[in-house]
Structure 1
Amino acid sequence: MKFGINTYLFASPFTNEGVSWFPKFKEWGFDFVEIAIEDPANIDPVFVRKALDEAGLECRSVCAATGPGRDLRGNKKEQLTSIEYVEQLIDIAPVLGSKLVAGPIYSSVGRADLYDEEKKLRQWQTAVTNLRRLAAYAKENNVMLAIEPLNRYETDMVNTCEQALKMIADVGSDHLLVHLDSFHMNLEEKDPALAIRKAGNKLGLLHASGSDRGTPGGDQINWDRIFAALDHIHYQGDIVIESFTPDVKIIAKAASIWRTIEPSKEAIAVDGLHFLRSLAF
C-alpha cells in the first residue's frame, strides 16, 4: 500500500510550476503524487516526469476534472469534448509513469437534477456507451480507468459504490474500476466499510478526506472500520489524501470550501499522512 497527495490541495490548475512542491512532498514522506490535470495543455508531461524522478516520487494516478462541457451523457459536443479529454489523460498517464486515470468521468461535476426514469435510463446508456469506447482505448494503452461516485450535490448519476459497480458491469470491461472517496461515502453510503467490501477487487483507488473535507483522522469518520474493510479485501492499492483549503480559490469554490477548516494545507498533508500510516496493515 502506498500513500499519495493530490495536487488540488496546493494548486488549481496544476501547471509545470507545480513541480516546485515535489521535493516537499517527498520530505513529508509521501510515496507518490496524484496529479489533477484540468487542462492537458497546462503541462509538459516529460518535464513533470523528470521533476518526479529527481524528487524520488512517482505519479501513480491522474485525476480527471470533468467540469462543465465535459459530460459523457450530455449533448453530442459535450460527449465528444469529454471523450477527447479523457483520451488525452490516457495518453499522458504513461508518460508521467501512471497506469490509472480516476475521477467522475461519467458526467460533469455539478450536474444534479431530477429526471424521470426514462430520461435517466437514456443518460445512463449514453454514458455506458461512451465508457466502453474509453475503456477500450485505455486497454490499448495499458491504462486503467476508475470511476468515482460523488455525493448528491455534485451528481445525480453515481452516488454509491453499488451504482458504480452496476455501471462497470454494464460497460463490461476489465479496465474499469471503482474509485471511492471517504468524504462522498460519509454522505451517501449506509456503511462506508461495507461499500469497500462490496467493491472488493474492483477497488482501484481510495481518496482519504475528513468528513468536513479536512484532515483524515481529525474528523468523525470511523477510520478503524475503513482500514479493517481494506484489510478484509486484501487491498494493496493506493490511498490519496484529497482535501481542500480556501487558499486555492478555484477548487475552493468548486468544492464549497467557504471557511478555514485546518491550520494550513501543509498540516493537512503531514498530519493526515501520519495518521493514515499509523492505521496501515
Structure 2
Amino acid sequence: MTTDTTSNPIGVHALVWVGDTRPSSIEYAVAKTKATGFDLLEISLHDSANLDVAAARDALREAGLGVACSRGLAFDADVSSDDPAVVERGEKLLNDSLAATRALGGTHFTGALYSALGKYGRPLTETGRRNVVAVLRRLAREAARHGMTLGLEICNRYETNVVNTAHDALVLADDIGEDNVLIHLDTYHMNIEEDDLVRPVHEVGDRLGYVHIGENHRGYLGSGHLDFTSFFHALGDIGYRGPITFESFSSAVVMEGLSNDLAIWRNLWSDGEDLARHARAFIGDRLHTNRSR
C-alpha cells in the first residue's frame, strides 16, 4: 500500500529543551523547536502553575508552531480513586488543563488522563473504573464543544494500573462512548507491554489520534532495539495523518515531580539540540520512505 504521510505534523516534547514552563523556558523551547524544523511543541501541564498561557500562545503563533498538551494526574487528585474527594480534585485538574490547552490554541489534550503517574499497589477497582469512565465522558463532551480531542495514552504497568495495552484503551474508549476520545500510542510503552509494534497500530486503526516516538531507553532514536521501520509501515497501513511527537527524557533536563514519577535517573543525553535535530531527521526519513512504498 502506498500512503502519503507527509501531512503528519512532527512534534517534540518540551522536556527535550527545558525542565519547567516559566515564560523564559517556554520562549526558549519555542525558539529551539522552530529552529530544529519541528511543526509542533508538546507542553506538559504538570508545571502549569508557572505557565503564562497568553505569552506562550503568542510565542507559538509568532513561530508558526502547533501545540499539544499532555499530563497525568497525582495520587491525591486521581479520577481512578475510590475516594470521591480525590476524584473531584482530579476532575478539576483535567478541566483546568483542557481549558489551558484550548487557550494555548491546541486541539489535542492527551496523556494518562485516567490516573496518577506511578506504580499502584493494587489492581484498579470496579468503583475506580466507573469513576474514570464518568469523569472522562464529561470531559470529552466539554472538549467536543470546542472541537477538541482527548487522547488516552497507553502507559506501562509501572506508571498506571488502568490502561497498559491498545486493547485496554479501546475498551475504555468504548465505555466512555464519545467519538472525540482517541488512542495515543507510545513506542516506549509499547515495547514493554505489547507483543510487537505493528499489531496494536492495526487494532487501533482510524481511532489513533496521537503518537509518541521514543526509544526503549528514551535516548537517541535508533540507538536502542525498537523496530521503527515496521512501526512506521503500520502507520502507513492505516493512513495515519495525526501528530508524531518525539519524546525523550534525561536527567540533564529535570522537571521536579514528573522526572521522579517517570524514574528519570540517567543522563542519556546532554545536548537537546543535537538530540532533536537527529530525531527530526529520523522521523522525516521514515515518513518519506514510507510514502514511497
TM-score category by the smaller chain?
over 0.9
Deviation, 1:135, is 1.1
Q: Distance in 2 between matches of 1:98 and 1:168?
A: 21
Q: Which residue of 2 aligns with 1:56?
A: 64
The partner residue of 1:68 within 70, 75, 98 is 75
Structure-to-structure mapping, 1:67-216, within 5 angstroms = 67-74=74-81, 75-115=83-123, 120-216=125-221
DSSP-derived class of the 2:62 partner = helix
Q: Which residue of 2 aligns with 1:268?
A: 275
DSSP-derived class of the 1:275 partner = helix
2:235 matches 1:230: yes
Q: Structure 2-normalised TM-score? A: 0.90
Amino acid at match of 1:185: M
Deviation, 1:129, is 1.3
Q: Distance in 2 between matches of 1:58 and 1:177?
A: 19
Residues 1:150 and 1:232: Cα distance change in structure 2 (over 3 Å): same
Deviation, 1:263, is 4.8
Residues 1:81 and 1:11: Cα distance change in structure 2 (over 3 Å): farther
Q: Distance in 1 between matches of 2:74 and 2:38?
A: 28
Q: Distance in 1 between matches of 2:191 and 2:154?
A: 12
Amino acid at match of 1:206: V
The partner residue of 2:48 within 36, 40, 51 is 40
User: How big is the alpha-carbon RMSD for the aligned residues of Structure 1 and Structure 2?
Assistant: 1.6
Native 8 Å contact 1:101 1:145 kept in 2: yes
Q: Distance in 2 between matches of 1:17 and 1:89?
A: 21
Larger displacement relative to structure 2 (264-273 or 233-242):
264-273
Amino acid at match of 1:38: H
Deviation, 1:111, is 4.0
Amino acid at match of 1:48: A
Q: Distance in 2 between matches of 1:178 and 1:70?
A: 23
CA deviation profile, 1:1-42 (whole Å, cap 9, x unmatched): 011111122233322222222122111111110111114332
DSSP-derived class of the 2:160 partner = coil
Q: What are structure 1's unaligned runs of at least 5 residues?
A: none
DSSP-derived class of the 1:70 partner = coil
Percent same amino acid at aligned positions?
Answer: 30
Deviation, 1:193, is 1.2
